[in-house]
Structure 1
Amino acid sequence: MLHLYWGDGKGKTTAAMGLALRALGHGRRVVVLQFLKDGTSGEIALLRRCGAEVHACPNAKFTWLMTEAERAEARQHNTAALRAALDTPFDLLVLDEACAACRHQLVDEELLQQAAAMAKQGKEVVLTGRDPAPWMQDAADYSTELRAVRHPYTHGIPAREGIEY
């Protein structure tokens, strides 16, 4: 099954990581690939301790702050990391921030589509992010939109360590 957690609301990654933790608890093999994130958030350490294989993006930064050279480097790294993830046996593959990586051409889109298509071969695949590509929406077995109704950031309240990051 292909899961898509998308939208401007909080909780996309949290939902995906909760599914990963549940799968690990049932002895499933889990691979997580985080695009645009450096792999230092709290849930990643726990998932690794529980047996998940995790790939992250070194030198992660917001896309609008990237130079063309940084974009090229990120695309190369992300595509290689996705290839490595696909070469690892898994029951659940989480591709966190896949929507943004695809939209900003920070990963080979054809390879990303191949990863998503593995959901039709009995694997569980999760895509997260804002503004999914039309092919993601069309392919999704589960499509859950998380919509921001209220968020502290809009009132100047920053993220809290251990809760949001």
Structure 2
Amino acid sequence: MEIGLIHIYCGNGKGKTTAAMGLGMRCAGRKNKVLLTQFLKDNNTGELVSIEKLNEYFHVVKGAPMKDWFNCLDKEGQEEVIKEHRDRFLSITKKAIDENYDLLILDETMAALNYGVLELDTVLEFLKNKPKNLEVVLTGRNPNQKLIDIANYVSEINPIKHPFEEGIPSRIGIEM
């Protein structure tokens, strides 16, 4: 990339991760290097299965799978998640820089920040000092205003109607 910009996909609607993955697939399709990690997720989504087939250009760094929702974990479980996520954030941002990736996707960064799993100052420091050619995508609900201010793109995805309201549960291949 000549100029790497910062994207935020936020809002309460379905599709933030899917939008980030779509951008990653577009980028990889043009033979650019893409690096992805997901915070506070269980590593069991359909997108990850598809990405494995693009492994020449699209790489995933998986974290320890979440055993439960973060706020349902006991103090010890939360401390383990915090340590693993903070270490992974530092290692993946270093990898993106050292290995000259074109696009870095940090899925569910906002949730990790909102729960205190990641530290805002650390994320902002990385974004302010990232290589000029590295494109970065952050996803999740309720981004901090400081992130909105530093971003070049902020896209909000909000639900107008969702099948969950009709009692239809998440479906493999569509919502997960």
Tell me the TM-score normalised to structure 1 length. Answer: 0.92
Q: Aligned equivalents of 1:153 and 1:162: distance in 2? A: 15
Q: Aligned equivalents of 1:137 and 1:117: distance in 2? A: 13
Question: 1:9 maps to what in 2?
Answer: 13
Q: SS of the counterpart of 1:53?
A: strand
Distance of aligned partners of 1:2 and 1:118 in 2 relative to their CA distance in 1, 3 Å threshold = farther
* Pairing partner for 1:53 from 48, 59, 64: 59
- Structure 1 residue runs of 5 or longer lacking an equivalent are none
1:160 Cα deviation from its structure 2 partner = 0.5
Deviations 1:120-156 (A, max 9, x none): 7221100100001111111110000001111111221
Q: SS of the counterpart of 1:47?
A: helix
Give me the CA root mean square deviation: 1.6
Q: SS of the counterpart of 1:33?
A: strand
* Pairing partner for 1:129 from 140, 144, 156: 140
Question: 1:84 maps to what in 2?
Answer: 91
Question: 2:124 maps to what in 1?
Answer: 113
Question: 2:158 maps to what in 1?
Answer: 147
Structure showing greater Rg:
2
1:108 Cα deviation from its structure 2 partner = 3.2
Bigger Cα displacement from structure 2, 11-20 vs 79-88:
79-88
Deviations 1:57-76 (A, max 9, x none): 32313232122212211111
The one-letter code sitting in structure 2 at the alignment partner of 1:164 is: E
1:110 Cα deviation from its structure 2 partner = 2.7
Deviations 1:14-70 (A, max 9, x none): 000000011111111111110011222111122133122212332313232122212
Identity %: 33
Q: Aligned equivalents of 1:118 and 1:53: distance in 2? A: 22
Assess if the C-alpha contact under 8 Å between 1:6 and 1:128 holds in 2: yes
Q: Aligned equivalents of 1:109 and 1:54: distance in 2? A: 23
- Structure 2 residue runs of 5 or longer lacking an equivalent are none
